[in-house]
Amino acid sequence: MKNIVEFGPVQFIRGTKGGRYPFCNSIFLESSGILIDPSSDREILKGLSKKVNSVWLSHWHEDHIMHLDLFEEATLCMHELDTPPLKSIETFIDWYGVGDQNKPELKERWRKMLVEMFNYKPRTVILDLEEERLELDGITVEIIHTPGHSPGNLSFYFVEPEILFLGDYDLTPFGPWYGDRHSDIDQIISSVNRLRQIPARTWLTGHEHGIFESNPHQTWDDYLKVIDTREEKLLAFLSQPRTIEEIGEAWIVYGKPKEPIEEFKLMEQISMKKHADRLIERGEVKYSDGKYVRS
C-alpha cells in the first residue's frame, strides 16, 4: 500500500497505523505548498517541510495537529470557531470537558499527553478560513463549513479533479464522533447530508483506508444509522432510571471499556448526554433527580 497516493494535483498521505487514531491522513497540494491536517507520517512530513508554506486544519482535535511542530514557519489556517484550543492548552483541555470533572490528576495527564505525544505548542498567528472558493496555483478549492464534529469543522472540495476531502466525517463503521463539549449531533447529520450532495468522483477521509473511488452510497446511510442505533440502545437501557455515570458504564458508543479508562469514560458520558438531551426534546426520555428514564 503506497504511503502517498496522487490524484492529479492532490496528494493523499496515509497516516501511520493505517490512519487510525492518534494519527490521521493528510492532504498536500504541492503547487501551492498547502498541507492539510499534519498528523499522518512524521518522516514523510519532515521531507515536505521546506515545501509547505501554509498548514490548513480541518478542525482543532489533537490527532490532526500532532506534527504541526514541524511547520512553525508556515502560516496556520483554520476556521475561526476552532481557534481557541490552538491558542491555549488550558482551553484545549477544557473543550474536552476535563475541567468539569474536578480531578486535577486527570487534567495533568491530558496536559502531559498533549505536550509529549501530540507536540502541542500554543499558536497565536492564525488566519481564518471561511466558506469560500479559492483559485490556487493550478487548482480550485471550495472550503466548506461543515460543523458538528467541531464548531468550525471544514471539508474541502477540489473542483477540477472532483475530489472531496471529508476529514473526520470518515464513513467508518464506528460512526460519527461527538465526544467533546462543543460537538453537535444534529449539525453532524446536516453536514454529512450536505457533503453527500457534492458531485465528487473521489472521496478522501481523515482516517483509516480513506479512499473511495466510487460513490459510497450505502456507506453514507450506514454511517448516520449508527446515531439511531446508539439511541435505540440508550432507550432500552433507560427502562429504569439511570444516572449519566451509569449510562456511561454501558459503553454504548465504544462497545466496551477502553484505556485510558477515565478519558474514554468521560467521552462516553459526554456523547450519551447529547443523545439523552435529544431524546428529552422528542419527549421519549425524562430527567428527574439526577436520573434519566424512558417516558
pLDDT tier, 127 (very low <50, low <70, confident <90, very high otherwise): confident
Q: What percent of the chain has pLDDT over 90?
A: 95
Query: Average pLDDT for residues 15-28, to the nearest whole number?
Result: 97
4-215 folds as Metallo-beta-lactamase; Chain A (3.60.15)
Q: Where are the domains of the chain?
A: 4-215, 230-294
pLDDT tens-digit map of 243-256: 999 999 999 999 99
> In this predicted structure, what is the pLDDT of residue 100?
73
Q: What is the mean pLDDT of the chain?
A: 96
pLDDT tens-digit map of 161-197: 999 999 999 999 999 999 999 999 999 999 999 999 9
Residue 191 burial (C-beta neighbours within 10 Å; 0-12, 13-18, 19+)? buried
The yes-or-no verdict on residue 101 having pLDDT over 90 is: no
Q: Is the pTM of this model over 0.85?
A: yes
The yes-or-no verdict on residue 1 having pLDDT over 70 is: no
> In this predicted structure, what is the pLDDT of residue 118?
98
